[in-house]
Amino acid sequence: MKKTFTLLTALLMSSVLAFGQDILDVPPWDDTDPAILPLIDVIAGDTTDTGDRVSEDRVYRLERDGIYMITSTLFADYSFSLIATDGDGRPPLLISAKTAEGAVVLPFMKFLSNDEEYAFENIMFQAINTDLQQTIWTSALQFSGNNTRVTFDGCVLNGWTGRSTDFYGANNSVFFRDVIWRNVTHTDHPFVGQQIAFGPLDQDTLVIHNCTQFNANGYWLYHRSAMFDYVVIEHNTFYVTMTTLFALEHSVNLIFRSNLLYGVYALGDHPISRRDKWYTTDGLPLAHILVDAMADTVLAAGGLTEADRSILLTNNAWHTPQAIQDHYDANDTLTGPVWMNDRVQGMFDDDASYPLFVAENNVEIDPVFADADMDTWMTTETANAATEFMNHPPGAFWGTTSTMRNYDSRTGIDQDLLIVPWPLAEGNLEITEASLLTAGHDGLPVGNLNWDPTLRAQYRLPGEPGVGIENQLQNSMGFSITQNYPNPFSHETMIGYSLSNAADVTISVYNVLSQKVATLVNEYRDAGEYSVRWDAADMPAGIYTYRIEADGLAQTRKMMLVK
């Protein structure tokens, strides 16, 4: 597996614009007009007389507030993208209808080829079918190819109880931005879920930011027994899950920061779950953060050792709400999750074996959601369902519970769950705890930033152009320094800085012992924007800090060098 990354290039290419602008508008379903073809028929039939695709750069555009019935599964061996028209209306709603034989259509789409690109922008995928049923272990989209690039931007995946996006191939690069997974619940099994699932094959890149998982049973992210080269998970909100949030133990380079985890693992941990290793491979207590040593054969295949792995775990917040804590307390065999169990904590404490593992500025605190009524209803329903699951005979913790916990149905059992309300019933999950409003790694609030468009616009991924929150720092200090790019890096990296006034500037690099190892800038500079390169080819792998000093003030950031 490669050990250097071009994240900025990947991000730029992930946009739907990478497919060009050959747009085909597709009208929504209309049962009074037989001339309007179902969506899948339009896509599958978009070919020439010879059977070739009309355009390799085709973009299919759907109408906001429109409903698109899925009457057959699309099998695609070509790249394409699916986007919505501009506006503030509900994203185009894709719903599972029936085949001519009366069977529910699942999955919606299967993508078969290697080296393809797929983009989905502002689309809503609905798992509840036209019979108002939610089938267990349902899947929306399946990707079988290797080396694919898949982007989800502003999408909503509603009610998918089994691998809503499933990746069977290897070396894929996947990007989720401003995505919402919601109501991923079922009465018969606490582990249904696995919203983002990868088979046991090595993967390339996964970037997830400003997303929300709202009200779920099982896994949100699942990848085991193989390596993930580069993963960024930051500024996401994970609101109430019954069991495991993610299994991502074998990341080579992982940035997990500025996330909010609330009411996760509501079912709890108990002697049977530890004995049967529900949550951890070694039966240790349940923890929010689960990483593990990688098999020697897996590391050797990638030309790596454990010392080459880097995990940056910073500026996250977590909390167990009172209703779920009461569920734990009512059963003396139950415990809630810890932040790290002894094994994981031991890995972060072992600087000799894991020199690039960093965990800091992670806090346990109640975020205090602005929508208190929503929070009370959701946590109480989840605690009640967890108690019902636990009241089954020992070892049989999946049986029917009396509450579906679908938040759209909270106003009455007769509500039509097929047409998802817009705006979404749960609103924006705004938090009010003052200490968390600037607790992110970038000075922004912890969790999904979409509740405040101004703050969302300031967010920048590692290496992404723009300064975002740096503008505020520069206004108050007269200068700013940006996060180096790439980071982590294996040879050299670039550091950007800005001056609002002319000044004598020094930029220095320090190792973990606070010893200065390089001076990159030491001179008078006029006001403006600058960048400087650090060639670290002769330096040992590890964590370094770089510091800018000007006008008697200083600002410091961290970076990771991997070999």
**pTM for the structure as a whole:** 0.81
- Range name among 15-29, 220-234, 261-275, 521-535 with the lowest pLDDT average: 15-29
Please tell me the chain's helix, strand, coil percentages from 3-state DSSP, rounded to the nearest 5: 15, 35, 50
Tell me what pLDDT residue 390 has.
84
Does 252 or 431 have the greater pLDDT score? 431
Cα–Cα distance for residue pair 470/467, rounded to 1 Å: 5
- Taking residues 409-419, report their average pLDDT: 71
Q: Please state whether the peptide bond connecting residue 423 to the residue before it is cis, i.e. omega within 30 degrees of 0.
A: yes
Asked if 175 and 167 count as a contact pair (C-beta separation under 8 A), the reply is no
In the chain, how many H helices and how many E strands?
9, 35
Q: What is the token pair recorded at 517?
A: 């190892």
Amino acid at 218: G
Main-chain dihedrals φ then ψ at residue 547, nearest 5 degrees: -135, 130
- Are 126 and 95 in contact by the 8 Å Cβ rule? The answer is yes
Per-residue pLDDT band for 252 (boundaries 50, 70, 90) equals confident
**Residues contacting 101, CB < 8 A, separation 6+:** none
Taking residues 86-105, report their average pLDDT. 89
Closest by alpha carbon to 255, among 481, 14, 434, 486?
486
Q: What residue spans of 442-529 are helical by DSSP H?
A: 453-458, 470-477
550 or 177, greater pLDDT:
177
Q: Alpha-carbon distance 172 to 181, whole Å?
A: 21
- What is the 8-class DSSP label of residue 225? S
| Run of H or E residues at 231 | strand 228-234
Q: Which region among 66-70, 210-214, 359-363, 488-492 has the lowest average model confidence (pLDDT)?
A: 488-492
Q: Quick one: pLDDT band at residue 395, thresholds 50, 70, 90?
A: low
What is the chain's Cα-based Rg?
24
| pLDDT recorded at residue 472 | 37
Q: Report whether 386 contacts 267 (CB < 8 A).
A: yes
